[in-house]
Structure 1
Amino acid sequence: MHENLLSTIQSCVIIPTYNNEKTLERVILKTLIYTSDVIIVNDGSTDSTPEILQKFSQLHQIHFPKNQGKGMALRAGFKEALKLGYQNTITIDSDGQHFPEDFEVFVNEIKENGEALLIGDRNMEQEGIPGKSSFGNRISTFWYWFETGNKLRDTQSGFRLYPIKQMENLKYFTRKFEFEIEVIVKAAWAGIPVKNVPIQVLYDESERVSHFRPFKDFTRISILNTYLVLITLLYIKPRDYFRKFQEKGFKRFFLEDLLHSEDSNLKKSLSVALGVFIGIAPLWGFQTVIVLFLAYVLRLNKLIAFAFSNVSIPPMIPLIIYASLSIGNFFLGTPKLNKFQWNAIESYKEYITTHLAEYFVGSLILASVSAVLFGLISYLVLGIRSKKTQKIHSI
């Protein structure tokens, strides 16, 4: 491997370090075999790290007076790399578990398949991997999949390639280990491909120093994932489904997602029914979150359910509110409605406020009946179409 290989993708190497005096010099020397474009971030080390780094004064160095956390070290490294004109950067831990020889794996992947955020896959099933690391990785990969829809094998490896130029406008709020979760989720949300590439790994417990504090760091990670899940349900999923629906248009959505989806007719029909029920039910402001959550729990088609939950589009709102109030009046035996002003939004608010019980009961009944009707009609239509398709293929 030539020393200028990393320069072919305009990349440098960032080495964040905190009290890894046993392995730091070895990691730097091995890295220098492959590139001299190195940024070292000393995250407030209290051991002999400053003395070791004096031997490498030719390299770009950032020194924090106090420990701020790996996230802050990486963010400072990204900022410095952008200032120096790099498009990408590879991060490698200073505890000796990674092999600089694997730089070539990252570079080749970018050259062959284009820009992406690459995470080294340590093959967590191999011998020598600590059980707590393997378990933590499984939990992390699950939440990453839930938050992005993208499946990875390893989400916790610190050996990565970041397309920092593409990520320049992303905003972060985490400072420590959890940053490595936040950054890959937000990159995926921004449309940056996030992939695994195979790497080697060495766990030498006699040299390796772990700064992971189970209680504090798991708490931070849990808080972060709670935040990311809420953003996923409240904004990211609705945004993505809306964009997909908008790009396709109703006709293409109807033909591809409703008719040609690989899901069974029953599953599609139940998805339609769920969407219609949630769209009409008195769940204003939470319809998207609820429909996506229920579609996920019930294993229904999320895109179909989301699309039909938009049955309560603005032109339909007066009709839905009036029908709900009328049905509620009928079933509760309350006096008939006074004159209803269809074009006045204040009229909706007034009637719903003064006839809340009627509206609540009526909207649930209307939602249930509509869901059953839409579900049955879609099931019959899909069934008829399936029979026609079978006849055509049998000819």
Structure 2
Amino acid sequence: MSSGLIVDVIIPAFNEEKSIPKVIRDIPNWVRHVVIANNNSTDSTAEEAQKAGAIVVFEGQKGYGKACLTAMDWIKSQSIQPDVVVFLDGDYSDYPEEMELLLQPIVEGKADMVIGSRALGNREKGSMTLPQVFGNWLATTLMKWIQGAIYTDLGPFRTIRWKKLLDLEMRDENYGWTIEMQIKAHQKGLKYLEVPVTYRKRIGVSKVSGTVKGVFGAGYKIILTIFKYWKA
């Protein structure tokens, strides 16, 4: 990009040794820092990420949101802060090279936060399970009814202005992270929109959709988060 924006990337990762080098490789070279939050992995995720050129921070407490918060703390410690932060997963299901699609509305002043929507984009067959598809539909429908927030997906691939992200005062340490961000962005009046993204089958087994416990745990937390931030 020729926008002059300072862009950092945050990737929470738990046992992604096979996929993380591919993710880092496909991130555009105009990104300043790629920060991998190693979420107590028992494999060589950290070593593979470092070999690929990323910065690795360690978070021993398991939890998607907890890992993201730890990566944010590292960014806060830097003398020069980014303009924008991009979040994506470490399982190679997202296409990092599509990052510019998410950043363009911010560059043009049309948005403070952009969600990469798998519902609007192209999904490889089998890349999302039926519980995932239904869960996204249910969560976005409830957000519309209860919050008045218009979304089609809770996709992890997203970008947001750094200062706006800090203003959201994110708290959730696990499955509610993405939906907390979307609800708070709506409540605080951020300009947000979605762009279609491509989605493929992940490398390895999902820690959420790959287990019955993960599916029900994530579903429960997402619904709980929606009602937690309900403003009458």
TM over 0.5: yes
CA distance in 2: counterparts of 1:127 and 1:39, whole angstroms: 27
Counterpart amino acid of 2:194? N
With structure 2 as the length reference, what TM-score do the two structures score? 0.86
Specify the SS of the correspondent of 1:113: coil
Name structure 2 gaps, 5 residues minimum.
209-213
CA distance in 2, matches of 1:147, 1:121: 21
Query: Is 1:178 the equivalent of 2:179?
Result: no
Question: CA RMSD for the aligned pairs?
Answer: 2.2
Distance 1:101 1:24 in 2: 14
Question: More relative contact order in 1 or in 2 (CA 8 Å, sep 6+)?
Answer: 2
Contact 2:114 2:160 in 1 (8 A): yes
The residue that corresponds to 1:218 in the other structure is 219
Cα 1:6–1:197 shift into 2, 3 Å: farther
Is the CA contact 1:24–1:96 (under 8 Å) kept in the aligned structure 2? yes
Greater share of strand: 2
**Distance in 2, Cα, partners of 1:126 & 1:138:** 15
Instruction: Note if 1:59 corresponds to 2:57.
Output: no
Structure 2 distance, partners of 1:30, 1:52, is 15
Question: Which residue matches 2:129?
Answer: 130
1:44 aligns with 2:40: yes
Residues 367-378 of structure 1 correspond to what in structure 2 (within 5 A)? none
**In 2: Cα distance, 1:144 partner to 1:215 partner:** 19
CA–CA distance in structure 1, aligned partners of residues 7 and 160 of structure 2: 9
- Which of 96, 101, 110 pairs up with 2:97? 101
Find the residue that maps to 2:41 and give its secondary structure. Answer: coil
Look up the match of 2:211.
none
The one-letter amino acid of 1:217's match is A
CA distance in 1, matches of 2:8, 2:96: 12
Task: Return the alpha-carbon distance in structure 1 between the equivalents of residues 199 and 136 of structure 2.
Answer: 15
The answer to whether the 8 A contact 1:106-1:118 is kept is yes
Q: Residues 271-305 of structure 1, C-alpha deviation per residue, up to 9 Å, x if partnerless? A: xxxxxxxxxxxxxxxxxxxxxxxxxxxxxxxxxxx
Measured after TM superposition, the shift of residue 98 of structure 1 is 0.8
Equivalent-residue separation in structure 2 for 1:63 and 1:118 (angstroms): 27
Is the 1:116–1:193 contact (alpha carbons within 8 Å) kept by the matching residues of 2?
yes
**Secondary structure in structure 1 of the residue aligned to 2:12:** strand
Identity percentage over the alignment? 25
Answer yes or no: is 1:166 the counterpart of 2:164: yes
Letter in 1 for 2:149: N
* Residues 1:22 and 1:7: Cα distance change in structure 2 (over 3 Å): farther
Distance 1:96 1:6, change over 3 A: farther
Decide which of 106, 111, 117 is 2:107's aligned counterpart.
Answer: 111
Selected match of 2:68 from 74, 77, 82: 74
For the residues of structure 2 that align with 1:50 and 1:99, how far apart are their CA atoms?
Answer: 21
Distance 1:44 1:6, change over 3 A: farther
Which letter maps to 2:56? Q
Distance 2:89 2:55 in 1: 17
Separation in 2, partners of 1:51, 1:127? 30
Tell me, in whole angstroms, the C-alpha distance in 2 between the residues paired with 1:107 and 1:217: 28
| In 2, Cα distance between equivalents of 1:7 and 1:117 | 17
Deviation at 1:127, TM superposition (A): 5.6
Max Rg structure: 1
Distance of 2:47 and 2:93 partners within structure 1? 22
> Residue 178 of structure 1 contacts residue 221 of structure 1 at CA under 8 Å; is this kept in 2?
yes
In structure 1, the gaps of 5 or more residues are 234-395
Normalized against structure 1, the TM-score is what? 0.52
Secondary structure, counterpart of 2:116 in structure 1 = strand
Paired AA for residue 137 in structure 1: N
The correspondence for 1:16, drawn from 12, 28, 39, is: 12
Per-residue CA deviations over 1:212-258 (Å, capped at 9, x if unaligned) read: 102322222232222122xx11xxxxxxxxxxxxxxxxxxxxxxxxx
Contact 1:82-1:165 at 8 Å conserved across structures: no
**Per-residue displacement from partner, 1:78-99 (whole Å, max 9, x unpaired)?**
3333443112101111111111
Query: What are the superposed Cα offsets for residues 195-214 of structure 1, whole Å, 9 maximum, x if unpaired?
Result: 1111111124xx23211102
Residues 292-307 of structure 1 aligned to structure 2 (within 5 Å): none
Secondary structure of the structure 1 residue equivalent to 2:100: helix
Quote how far apart the aligned CAs of 1:123 are: 2.7
Give 2:192's aligned residue. Answer: 194
